[in-house]
């Protein structure tokens, strides 16, 4: 295992960020109501993710706000104490494949490695050695409004704690740590937004089934980076996240017993909220501008009651915002992708590598390369992934050969558009979906799409080979129609020198079915049959912004309803759906900052010291 930089606290990490030139201190007064979001959003979308931001003068609170701390590839690696996140994956791979010793010398050689293992489990410390309990507030002294909790986006239902490490235990005492947003209702209560698939929700329902009226909960805000990351990690059920944090840190996490509940929390955390949820109580939570780039809709969730609020002296409030990628959570997600590759390969040894594109918002698209040995193995792999932990939420999976660099999206796109055989390469399935998927007609479940772009091997059914790439002249009739079509606001052809060219069109949709109707009109005008795949977007979209087009495709498409094969072509409707288009659920709004906030930040920007 490689030696790593260790941080006992968030403050250690902040000091390291500043020493490395990765932190910007902002002394100008800013509001936690929308303004911090607008500033952080601009910075996070700058090349490389910009810098971590420490707002030292926040309206309504004495606490500084740290945001975008994990918002670059470099800072994410720094957070985990390494220069290269792949080194953590290599350590996990070595651990998984450790061979049992066969001789005395083998046992002696293994002693240093075994000694390292003793550093992983958390250790308990006394309250006197726990800075998180420097100040203890109970009863009437509890006031969540002391924290500079952000109101992130204009249509949010309120102010949300967005980076909490939420500690719960199952009825048999097994600890779980997850990250679930918490809407502040008043000075002593919040929502607890754990989706039905999450382990926190599982513990909650186990308490209800056991006949318990309450489940104790503790929330750590501003723990050290390894703990924060571990709270987001897709660990197998029952594996202690504090063990993973200790593995990353190469030393144990120090825990302290809470003051009012029977739970343990990181002793070095900035702020801790102790309390409980009543298994019978629900309250409307949301809407909330989520990592999909859309608002997740209001719904009923459990209510968290605070029985104690403890914190360090002069605490720092750690938070994040999510929305249209790229943002801070994208870099955290990429770290998860790399670190958990060895575990995925252990379950599915044919996997060579995988990639979760930002445009797929973690759960809508997986690209995987594989070593293919027998017929239909790519399809078996799709089924295996759709049944594996959080990978089961993947809506679309693209499988390619082992020699393909799946992190080079241009190469992947060219390969797929050259090798795709319509419709033979398409694999349709149904199953669970992420709770934030808004495209399916029903919540939590729906259609899935697999694309087998691997090379055909002996024993697999013969499929038609894609025709030769269209010539330049083949595009003429279609391009002439597009240039004059009133129904099309913009169009783009990302790659023309491939066998299955993709046409992206932004259409003026006025009633149900218009998107596919206009796409078919484009196909009819295409006398040279150059357009093999036609993707329709809403009219305000710039069809030449290919990243945004993919983001819309992954978010807005239900594979069963919105992808139609006809006459050797694919027609894809990635527009917002109307109720009479087979989508009875409310369609969420896309996240957009309000104009007045944008203008206020425009005026404030020169004073922030963040550059042009």
Catalytic residues: 290
Taking every pair of Cα atoms in the chain, the longest distance, rounded to a whole number of angstroms, is 81
Instruction: State the Cα torsion 108-114-119-124 to the nearest 10°.
Output: -110
Return phi, psi of residue 46, to 5°: -75, 160
Query: How many angstroms separate the CA atoms of 537 and 534, rounded?
Result: 10
Facing residues of 177 across strands? 167
Q: Which of 167, 452, 147, 166 shows the shortest CA–CA distance to 309? A: 147
DSSP string, 121-165: S-EE--GGG-GGGSEEEEGGG--GGGS--BB-STT-SS-EE-SEE
**Residue 563, H or E segment:** strand 563-566
Gyration radius of the chain over CA positions: 26
Alpha helix positions (H), 134-273:
199-209, 225-232, 241-249
Tokens 């033979």 map to which residue? Answer: 424
Residue 131 token pair: 């800075």
326, 362, 438, 542 from 548: Cα distances, Å: 11, 15, 17, 8
Q: How remote is the C-alpha of 138 from its chain's centroid? A: 35
Residues 6+ apart with CB under 8 A from 203: 168, 169, 170, 171, 176, 215
Q: Which residues contact 251 (CB under 8 A, 6 or more apart)?
A: 6, 119
Strand partners, 308: 138, 274
What is residue 260's DSSP assignment?
Answer: S
Q: Report the C-alpha gap between 574 and 439 in whole angstroms.
A: 9
Give the residue from 374, 401, 382, 379 showing the smallest Cα distance to 457: 374
CA angle 477–478–482, rounded 5-degree value: 120
Residue 518: closest CA among 531, 530, 528: 531
Interhelix angle 476-484/514-525, rounded to 10 degrees, is 140
SS3 516: helix
**26, β-bridge pairs:** 55
Q: Which residues pair with 563 in a beta bridge?
A: 572
Rounded-to-10 torsion of CA 57, 61, 62, 63: -80
Residue 115 backbone dihedrals phi, psi, to 5 degrees: -65, -35
Measured CA angle at 392 (ends 320, 182), to 5 deg? 30
Closest CA to 283 of 303, 268, 257: 303
């Amino acid at each position: 295992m490689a030696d790593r930089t260790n941080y006992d606290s968030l403050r250690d990490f902040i000091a390291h960020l500043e020493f490395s030139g990765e932190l910007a201190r902002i002394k100008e007064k800013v509001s936690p109501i929308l303004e911090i979001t607008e500033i952080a959003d601009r910075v996070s979308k700058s090349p490389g993710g910009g810098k971590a931001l420490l707002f030292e003068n926040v309206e309504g609170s004495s606490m500084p706000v740290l945001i975008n701390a994990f918002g670059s590839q470099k800072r994410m690696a720094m957070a985990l104490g390494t220069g290269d996140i792949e080194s953590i994956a290599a350590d996990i791979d070595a651990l998984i494949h450790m061979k049992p010793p066969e001789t005395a010398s083998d046992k002696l050689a293994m002693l240093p490695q075994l000694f390292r293992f003793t550093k992983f489990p958390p250790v308990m410390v006394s309250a006197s050695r726990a800075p998180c309990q420097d100040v203890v507030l109970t009863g009437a002294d509890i006031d969540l409004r002391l924290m500079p909790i952000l109101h992130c986006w204009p249509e949010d239902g309120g102010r949300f704690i967005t980076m909490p490490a939420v500690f719960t235990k199952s009825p048999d005492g097994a600890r779980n740590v997850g990250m679930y947003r918490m809407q502040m209702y008043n000075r002593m209560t919040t929502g607890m937004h754990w989706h039905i698939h999450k382990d926190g929700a599982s513990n909650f329902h186990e308490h209800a089934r056991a006949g318990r009226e309450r489940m104790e909960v503790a929330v750590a805000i501003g723990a050290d980076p390894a703990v924060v990351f571990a709270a987001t990690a897709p660990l197998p059920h029952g594996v202690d996240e504090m063990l993973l944090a200790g593995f990353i840190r190469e030393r144990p996490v120090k825990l302290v017993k809470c003051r009012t509940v029977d739970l343990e929390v990181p002793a070095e955390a900035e702020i801790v909220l102790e309390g409980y949820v009543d298994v019978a109580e629900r309250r409307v939570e949301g809407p909330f501008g989520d990592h999909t780039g859309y608002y997740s809709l209001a719904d009923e969730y459990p209510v968290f009651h605070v029985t104690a609020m403890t914190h360090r002296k002069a605490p720092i409030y750690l938070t994040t915002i999510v929305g249209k990628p790229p943002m801070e959570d994208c870099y955290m997600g990429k770290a998860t992708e790399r670190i958990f590759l060895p575990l995925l390969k252990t379950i599915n040894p044919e996997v060579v590598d995988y990639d979760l594109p930002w445009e797929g918002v973690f759960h809508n698209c997986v690209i995987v390369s594989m070593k293919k040995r027998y017929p239909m193995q790519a399809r078996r792999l799709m089924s295996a992934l759709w049944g594996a932990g959080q990978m089961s939420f993947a809506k679309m999976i693209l499988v390619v050969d082992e020699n393909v660099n799946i992190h080079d999206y241009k190469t992947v796109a060219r390969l797929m558009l050259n090798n795709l055989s319509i419709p033979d390469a398409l694999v349709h399935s149904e199953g669970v979906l992420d709770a934030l998927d808004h495209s399916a007609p029903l919540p939590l479940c729906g259609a899935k799409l697999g694309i087998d772009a691997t090379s055909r091997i002996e024993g697999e059914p013969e499929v038609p080979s894609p025709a030769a790439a269209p010539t330049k002249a083949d595009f003429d009739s279609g391009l002439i129609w597009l240039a004059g079509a009133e129904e099309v606001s913009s169009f783009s052809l990302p790659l023309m020198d491939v066998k299955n060219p993709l046409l992206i069109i932004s259409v003026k949709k006025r009633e149900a079915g218009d998107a596919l109707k206009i796409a078919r009109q484009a196909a009819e005008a295409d006398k040279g049959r150059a357009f093999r795949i036609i993707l329709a977007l809403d009219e305000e979209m710039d069809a030449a912004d290919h990243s945004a087009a993919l983001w819309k495709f992954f978010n807005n498409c239900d594979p069963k309803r919105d992808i139609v094969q006809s006459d050797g072509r694919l027609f894809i409707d990635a527009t917002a759906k109307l109720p009479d288009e087979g989508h009875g659920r409310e369609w969420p709004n896309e996240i957009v900052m309000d104009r007045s906030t944008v203008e206020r930040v425009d005026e404030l920007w020169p004073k922030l010291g963040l550059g042009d």
